[in-house]
Amino acid sequence: MHVSAIPAFDDNYIWAIQPYDGADAIIVDPGDDQPVRQWLRHHDVEISAILITHHHWDHTQGLLPLLKDYPVTVYGPHTDTIEGVTNPVGHGERFSLSGDIPFTVFATPGHTLDHICFYTPGHVFVGDTLFSAGCGRMFEGSPEQFYESLQCLAELPDMTSVYCAHEYTEANVKFALAAEPSNETLRQYAQQVRALREHGLKTLPSTIGIEKAINPFLRAKGSEHFAELRRWKDQF
């Protein structure tokens, strides 16, 4: 399976999933249709399906324009706020795309109440729930919900690649170092991240194993600890 990052806006990544090189692509969270169209033309492929993690505009704004030219199946959360979703899905539901790519849906409320993640063995597309060394802002959910959502993702195999929707890693690492200054694995990770960004390279995907070792939000000791970290990060 091939997964490509399509940069959008200042720091978004729209992910393109192909079962093999040259195949039509499953597009994840098309906040802007123009970068997607450019990527499709460059690779001479079309869209086979679209996945939506939550309702925020920078994940959905390109959906309707793309559907005008690519009337494909759209999987997304059960909500009335996303126009264009044809197949609403909830926690534990499963479906297959592009012939034989199986997906399992995880409900991950916290950043928003409708947030879902899409898991296929070896890969998880997490939208704004989990970032490398961080997590999304808590706009709609409760600390208890967000903590449980992150713990759900932490149960995936350590080698699972984590595809976040934003390039926030460098800023997140600065906070993580403040929260866990004695975490030697985190300190080494920070050096790797700095080197990548100095060369204009992306820091994603991460893995579940890496995040369990360096992400203070994934390592929080309960929802109260998570809430304290989230408040601190909001003011950091």
- We report the CATH number of the domain holding residue 142 as 3.60.15.10
In a domain, 20, yes or no: yes
Strand-pair partners of 95? 103
d(CA 72, CA 91): 22
The whole-model pTM stands at 0.97
In a domain, 179, yes or no: no
Check whether 111 is labelled as a binding-site residue: yes
Check whether 123 is labelled as a binding-site residue: no
What is the sign, positive or negative, of the torsion defined by CA atoms of 214, 236, 124, 98? negative
Annotation says 111 is catalytic = yes
d(CA 76, CA 52): 5
- Interval 195-207 mean pLDDT: 97
The single-letter code of the amino acid at 54 is H
Annotation says 166 is catalytic = yes
Check whether 114 is labelled as a binding-site residue: no
Annotation says 54 is catalytic = yes
- Interval 150-173 mean pLDDT: 98
In a domain, 191, yes or no: no
In a domain, 233, yes or no: no
In a domain, 190, yes or no: no
- Interval 160-165 mean pLDDT: 98
Percent of all residues in the chain with a pLDDT value above 70, rounded to a whole number: 100
Q: What digits encode the pLDDT tens for the residues 85-100?
A: 999 999 999 999 987 8
Check whether 69 is labelled as a binding-site residue: no
d(CA 36, CA 40): 6
How many structural domains are present in the chain? 1
Centre a 10 Å sphere on the Cβ of residue 12 and count the other Cβ atoms it contains.
21
Annotation says 59 is catalytic = yes
Closest Cα to residue 49, out of 29, 35, 34, 31?
29
- Interval 134-138 mean pLDDT: 97
Question: Which pLDDT does position 66 carry in this prediction?
Answer: 98
Centre a 10 Å sphere on the Cβ of residue 178 and count the other Cβ atoms it contains.
12
Annotation says 78 is catalytic = no
Tokens 């012939």 correspond to 99
Check whether 91 is labelled as a binding-site residue: no
Its domain, for residue 58, covers 2-166+204-212
Question: Which pLDDT does position 106 carry in this prediction?
Answer: 98
In a domain, 57, yes or no: yes
Question: Which pLDDT does position 212 carry in this prediction?
Answer: 98
Question: Which pLDDT does position 57 carry in this prediction?
Answer: 97
Catalytic residue (choose from 55, 59, 115, 123): 59
On average, the pLDDT of the chain sits at 97
In a domain, 153, yes or no: yes
In a domain, 154, yes or no: yes
Annotation says 42 is catalytic = no
